[in-house]
Amino acid sequence: MSSTIVSFADGSVRGGGVVTRVESSEDGHVVVVDATPFHPVDHTWPDQPGDSGAILAGDQRADVVEAVMAAVSDDGVFAVGADIPVKRGVEGWTWLVAHMLESEAPAWLVPGAEVELVVDEARRAALSRGHTACHLASLALDLALVDLWRKDPGADALGNPDFEGRANQTSRIREDGSVDEYRLGKSLRRAGFDTETFAATLVERESQINSQLASWVASGATSRIDTEGDTIVDRRRWHCELPDGEAVILCGGTHAASLSEFSSISVALDLTDPQLLVMTTTVTAA
C-alpha cells in the first residue's frame, strides 16, 4: 500500500479513485481511497477541519462527515485520527486519508470499487478563506508588535519579529474565520517581549492590524500552495504575493486563490486573561 495521493492543494473538489480499505472505528466507518481531493484534519496540529462531502458510484452515494488522517504501520497496525501514535511522516508508517462516513459502509463500498469523490465546495471555500485570513492576521499581528521586542525572537515570513511563532499555542480555522490563542507568560517576557506596553495599547494595536489587513485585501494579491510531491505526507507551502513581499509559510491546509475573494478581513483582540491573548479573525467574502 502507498500513501494517499491528494489533489486538494490545487483547489480540486472532485476526483476519482479506487477503494483500498474499509474499516470500522470507535467513531464510525472509514473508507480509504488511493487518491482523493479531500483535505483531512491533521492529528497532530488540528487547525483546519477535514473536508466533508460524498463518495459516489453510479447512483449510489455515501455521505462523508469529515476526512481524517489514518496510518498503517509496517507491521500492520491501522490507526485513525488521534489514535495514531506518531507524528505524520514518521518512517515505518504508510500515511492515508480516511473518509469518515455518516453511517455504516454500504455493501457496494468495498476494496477494489471505483468511486468518485465530491467535496462540499461551499464549505471548502469558506474554510480556505478562513485559513488564508488566519495567516494574514498573524503576519499583521507580528507587524503591529515590532516595537515591543527588546531581543530578536526570530523572523516571520515577512521578516518581522515572530510573535506568532513564539507565542501561539492553538489555532482553529473555521468557515470564514479563525481563533488563535497566544500565551503571554514568563517565557515570552524572558524572550524580550514587553507584555505591559502591549496590554496598555491593545486597542491601538488592533486598529493597526485591521488597517494593514484592509490594505492587503485591497491589493488582490495572489495566493497559492506549492507542493513537493502529490502524497499526503509531502510538504506543502502557502505563498502570497503581498505588497510588502512574498510570504511563504509551511502549511498543510487549503487556501483562497486570491485576496480578491475577500471583501474584508478583520480581527478582534481579547486580553481578558492577561496571560492569554485571543485573536478572533472574521472574513467577509467578496
pLDDT score at 227: 97
Question: Does residue 261 share a domain with residue 229?
Answer: yes
222 grid coordinates: 495572489
Return the closest-CA partner of residue 222 out of 253, 250, 246: 246
Flag whether pLDDT at 26 surpasses 80. no
What would the mean pLDDT of 140-149 be, rounded to a whole number?
A: 98
Last residue of a domain, one of 86, 103, 119: 119
What would the mean pLDDT of 115-128 be, rounded to a whole number?
A: 98
Question: Does residue 127 share a domain with residue 184?
Answer: yes
Task: Give the whole-angstrom CA distance, residue 272 versus residue 177.
Answer: 21
Last residue of a domain, one of 67, 93, 119: 119
Question: Does residue 224 share a domain with residue 148?
Answer: yes
Question: Does residue 102 share a domain with residue 39?
Answer: yes
pLDDT score at 103: 87
Give the pLDDT confidence of 29-63 residue by residue, as tens digits.
Answer: 999 999 999 999 999 999 999 999 999 999 999 99
Last residue of a domain, one of 119, 142, 173: 119
State the total domains in the chain.
Answer: 2
Question: Does residue 233 share a domain with residue 205?
Answer: yes
Expressed as residue numbers, the domain containing 58 is 5-119
Are the beta carbons of 254 and 125 closer than 8 angstroms?
no
Which pTM was predicted?
0.97
Give the pLDDT confidence of 182-202 residue by residue, as tens digits.
Answer: 999 999 999 999 999 999 999
Question: In this structure, what CATH number is given to the domain that contains residue 229?
Answer: 3.30.980.10
Can you point out the beta strands (E) in 125-199?
168-174, 177-183
